[in-house]
Amino acid sequence: MSDIETVITASKQIEKLLEMRFGAKGRGLHDKLTSVQNQLPDHIVKRARFIASVRNAVVHGDEPMIRDRAGFENATQEVSSYLREKWPKAPIGGKTRVRYTGRTRRRRTRNTPATILVVGLVFVIYALVRFATGE
């Protein structure tokens, strides 16, 4: 695998883990790390920023190849294994995924403030009707 393929694959993998498990937001790995860095230990953030910097240098042509391939692979392994093993597998932040079952598409509802307000209003109206009719 070429250096460009290696760095792109590694950064995509870490970006996906950050999005799915921490609800990270942003355009690239640096932005996503910034959005969730308070949820991660400093050494993991530092390693992930190293990965992002190497990726940017290789892809954008500053460095034609990875200088410290072993260090890059160790950092990638450490960050991805930490993100996989230390945190729950369910997504954080109320995100749901649409899964195609072959017959229908289902989307789970989110408990947004508007949904909670509507359910609360329905409950109040139901209680008022019952009180007014004497039931």
Tell me the C-alpha distance between 84 and 98, whole Å.
22
Helix H or strand E encompassing 100: strand 99-100
Q: pTM, whole model, 2 decimals?
A: 0.62
Token pair of 134 as six digits:
């004497």
Q: How does pLDDT run across 71-122, given as a tens digit for each residue? A: 989 999 999 999 888 665 555 555 545 444 555 555 566 667 888 888 889 9
Question: In this structure, are residues 14 and 51 in contact, taking their beta carbons and an 8 Å threshold?
Answer: yes
Q: How does pLDDT run across 29-57, given as a tens digit for each residue? A: 999 999 988 888 999 999 999 999 988 88
Q: b/e string for 42-56 if b means 16 or more Cβ within 10 A?
A: eebbebbbbbbebbb
- pLDDT, residue 76, reads 92
Tell me the C-alpha distance between 53 and 34, whole Å.
14
